[in-house]
Amino acid sequence: MQLYNTLSAKERAALIKEAGQERLTISFYKYAHIGNPSIFRNHLFIHWNELEVLGRIYVAHEGINAQLSVPAENFEAFKKHLDSISFLEHVRLNIAIEQDNLSFLKLKVKVRTKIVADGLNDTTFDVTDKGIHVDAETFNELIEDPETILVDMRNHYESEIGHFKNAVTPDVDTFRDSLDIIEQDLKDHKEDKKLVMYCTGGIRCEKASAYYKHKGFKQVYQLEGGIIEYARQVEQKKLENKFRGKNFVFDHRRGERISEDIIAQCHQCGKPCDTHENCANEACHLLFIQCEDCAKKMDNCCSTECQEVHNLPWEEQKRLRKGKVVSNKIFKKGRSVVLKYKK
Ligand SMILES: [Zn+2]
Ligand SMILES: [Zn+2]
């Protein structure tokens, strides 16, 4: 029985090109109680490998988080298989609007301790005891209610380029930090206010809503499917769009424009801009907002120091990097003393 990939990424890319078949890029998640994630993992691998599914899937005791692609002609069979798993029956699938046949080149189903890196050790609360899910239309009404506190559950570099008007946007680097800050700020309103949350695709809010219910909040709501699904419903049902700017996404596009407003500014010159770039110095790689003029002037670097390193011969750069850890990839996104306009 084959439980692992037998083809390399390169061989797979060649095969996909040769077959010339359309693939759909899909994402979904579901919190559930999975008794034996390893057995579940193998079950998924065997069936999905047969259907030529490719992607990155995390399975844990608390549920499943999947980003994958499937040949369009196998989509029905794939859906049928999902529906055969009791807790995945009718699960909401996010199907990417922009298709990329080579979005994934291997099927990786991994067992993890968590499907969201939340830093929580709390095993006393039930992640499936989630808040009330609302669609875009109800969400629009809810956030106009004076009894509502609207909270953005994402990190600072995400809400910086786009968020709902009147949302509280915690200035945090991690999900764990925002959980604490919000609880502290709202501790006197656990019973009287409506706590309404949103994030990119819903997975963080679902965990947060269960956490806050456990912490004693009485009225907890979350935007079903996050900003991604909100944008889709606004478009489809011709609703008023209350999101300003771009939705930060974690693939090469970095952001999806939801409204024409540019709410952020270039971190180097301060002019309106909401384009994230990584510092071109491989030893830095800082994620920050940079306008085209500054990119040109700075050779796509975040500082003159990085620019100097970036312009050295490659061998010299490698020698300088030796033994140093690039930590900016994880934290300090968009934060650096060299960036004049990053508040
Ligand atoms: Zn600039
Ligand atoms: Zn840099």
For residue 64 the two structure tokens come to: 């499943």
Alpha carbons within 13 angstroms on the beta-carbon side of residue 297 total: 10
pLDDT of the residue at 251 = 66
Question: What's the CA gap between 254 and 245, in Å, rounded?
Answer: 13
For residue 211, which amino acid is it? Answer: Y
The tens digit of pLDDT for each residue in 28-44 reads 999 999 999 999 999 99
Active site members: 199
pLDDT of the residue at 120 = 79
Q: Please enumerate, as own/partner, the contacts of 305-309 that have beta carbons within 8 Å and a separation of 24 or more.
A: 305/338, 306/279, 306/280, 306/281, 307/281, 309/281, 309/283, 309/284
Coil, helix or strand for 177?
A: helix
For residue 98 the two structure tokens come to: 């922009």
pLDDT of the residue at 15 = 75
pLDDT of the residue at 327 = 52
For the CA of 299, the nearest ligand: 2
* Cβ < 5 A residues, ion ligand 2: 279, 281, 284, 286, 302, 306
For residue 209, which amino acid is it? Answer: S
pLDDT of the residue at 330 = 44
For the CA of 303, the nearest ligand: 2
| Ligand 2: centre distance to CA 186 (Å) | 37
For the CA of 309, the nearest ligand: 2
Question: What's the CA gap between 308 and 301, in Å, rounded?
Answer: 9
Q: Dihedrals φ, ψ of 72, to 5°?
A: -50, -35
The tens digit of pLDDT for each residue in 197-228 reads 999 989 999 999 999 999 999 999 999 999 98
| Ligand 1: centre distance to CA 273 (Å) | 8
DSSP code of residue 93: P
For residue 286, which amino acid is it? Answer: L
Neighbouring CB atoms inside 10 A of 241's CB total: 15
| Ligand 2: centre distance to CA 281 (Å) | 6
Contact between 245 and 161 under an 8 Å Cβ cutoff? The reply is: yes
Neighbouring CB atoms inside 10 A of 51's CB total: 16
pLDDT of the residue at 95 = 80
Local confidence pLDDT in tens for the 343 residues of the chain = 778 888 887 887 777 777 777 888 888 999 999 999 999 999 999 999 999 999 999 999 999 999 899 999 999 999 999 999 999 999 999 887 666 777 788 999 999 999 987 877 667 788 889 999 999 999 999 999 999 999 999 999 999 999 999 999 999 988 888 999 999 999 999 999 999 999 998 999 999 999 999 999 999 999 999 998 999 999 999 999 999 999 998 766 688 899 999 999 999 999 999 999 999 998 888 999 999 999 999 999 999 999 999 999 988 888 888 777 655 444 467 788 888 888 5
For residue 34 the two structure tokens come to: 């999975």
> How far, CA to CA in Å, does 139 sit from each of 5, 233, 237?
42, 11, 14
- Distance between first and last Cα of the chain: 55
Question: What's the CA gap between 199 and 222, in Å, rounded?
Answer: 9
pLDDT of the residue at 99 = 67
Q: What's the predicted TM-score (pTM) here?
A: 0.82
pLDDT of the residue at 196 = 97
Percent of the chain with pLDDT over 70: 94
Question: What's the CA gap between 153 and 174, in Å, rounded?
Answer: 10
For residue 336, which amino acid is it? Answer: S
pLDDT of the residue at 343 = 58
For residue 170, which amino acid is it? Answer: P
pLDDT of the residue at 86 = 95
DSSP code of residue 92: P
| Ligand 2: centre distance to CA 330 (Å) | 14
| Ligand 1: centre distance to CA 297 (Å) | 9
User: Which DSSP string do the residues of 298-314 spell out, in sequence order?
Assistant: TTT-SSHHHHHHHTS-H
For residue 265 the two structure tokens come to: 């500014």
